Amino acid sequence: MGGMARRRAPRSAPASSRTARAACPCGSPAPYPEHCGKLHAGGVAARAEDLMRARYSAFVVGDEAYLRRSWHPDTCPPVIGLDGGTRWEGLEIEASERGSAFHQDGTVTFRARYREGGAPGALHERSRFTRVGGEWVYVDGDFLD
């Protein structure tokens, strides 16, 4: 979900301010601490889609350290650029190809809705993932709209 970094991604409520019962920002009905919060705390994504969801949630909660850890070292920018100018409002996974425990690479196509300066918008991207040391990492993506 690198396109968000290029858009100067937001710094929203810190992870510690999320209640134990709040649904995960990625759209899962599971509470954040039991879903993406586990990956942010050091857990390993089983699938590329899981990593995609956790990266979206990291943008929402402003977890730059997780974004950096989950980005391929060859493509991670020196500055990720989290700021407060954008509010991420929802994630829709449109397609997930390969990216399971049986694959070395995969793609996830998603649409992330946001509001910037009061105006709605959406980031539509096909993200590429690969495994490094057995763990999924984001490589790069193509904007679709």
* C-alpha Rg value of the chain to the nearest Å: 14
Maximum alpha-carbon separation in the chain: 43
Class at the top of the CATH hierarchy for domain 3-143: alpha beta
C-beta separation of 85 from 8 below 8 A: yes
Taking the C-alpha atoms of residue 15 and residue 32, their distance in angstroms, rounded to an integer, is 9
Residues in the chain: 145
Where do the structural domains in the chain lie, given as residue ranges?
A: 3-143
Residue 14 has pLDDT above 60, yes or no: no
Taking the C-alpha atoms of residue 19 and residue 99, their distance in angstroms, rounded to an integer, is 30
Q: Among 76-85, 91-100, 114-123, which stretch is predicted with the lowest mean pLDDT? A: 76-85
Percent composition of the chain: helix, strand, coil (DSSP 3-state, to 5): 25, 35, 40
Q: DSSP string covering 8-60, please?
A: T-B--S-GGGS-TTSBPTTS-SSBGGGTHHHHHTT---SSHHHHHHHHHHHHH
Residues with Cβ < 8 Å from 27, sequence gap 6 or more? 53, 90, 91, 92, 93
Q: What are the tens digits of pLDDT across the range 109-131?
A: 999 999 998 999 999 999 999 99
Average pLDDT, rounded, for the chain: 90
Single pTM value for the model: 0.87
